């Protein structure tokens, strides 16, 4: 369950990776609400890849 009082962190993986790169980090962030989305065009992400940072930001 998401606690609306908790600060939120969004962890973004690098090129060619998925959200799983954060699996060992997330357990240490229990005081935060943590989101680890997969970027479009990456292994588990849906949709086409983007060619700009702005495009990825819009997708997230």
Residues 7, 16: Cα–Cα separation, whole Å: 28
* Separation CA 18–CA 12 (nearest Å): 9
What would the two tokens of residue 32 be? 């935060």
pLDDT in tens, 10-43: 999 888 888 999 999 999 999 999 999 888 776 6
Question: How much is the pLDDT for 14?
Answer: 85
Of the pLDDT bands very low, low, confident and very high (cuts 50, 70, 90), residue 46 is low
CA–CA gap between residue 7 and residue 49 (Å, rounded): 29
- Residue 2 domain-assigned? no
Question: What pTM, to 2 d.p., does this model score?
Answer: 0.73
User: Containing domain of residue 50, as a range?
Assistant: 8-59
Indicate whether 3 belongs to any domain. no
Number of domains composing the chain:
1
């Amino acid at each position: 369950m998401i606690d609306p009082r908790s600060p939120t962190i969004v962890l973004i993986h690098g090129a060619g990776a998925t959200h799983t790169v954060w699996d060992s980090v997330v357990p240490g962030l229990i005081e935060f609400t943590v989101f680890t989305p997969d970027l479009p065009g990456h292994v588990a992400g849906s949709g086409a890849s983007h060619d700009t940072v702005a495009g990825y930001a819009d997708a997230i």
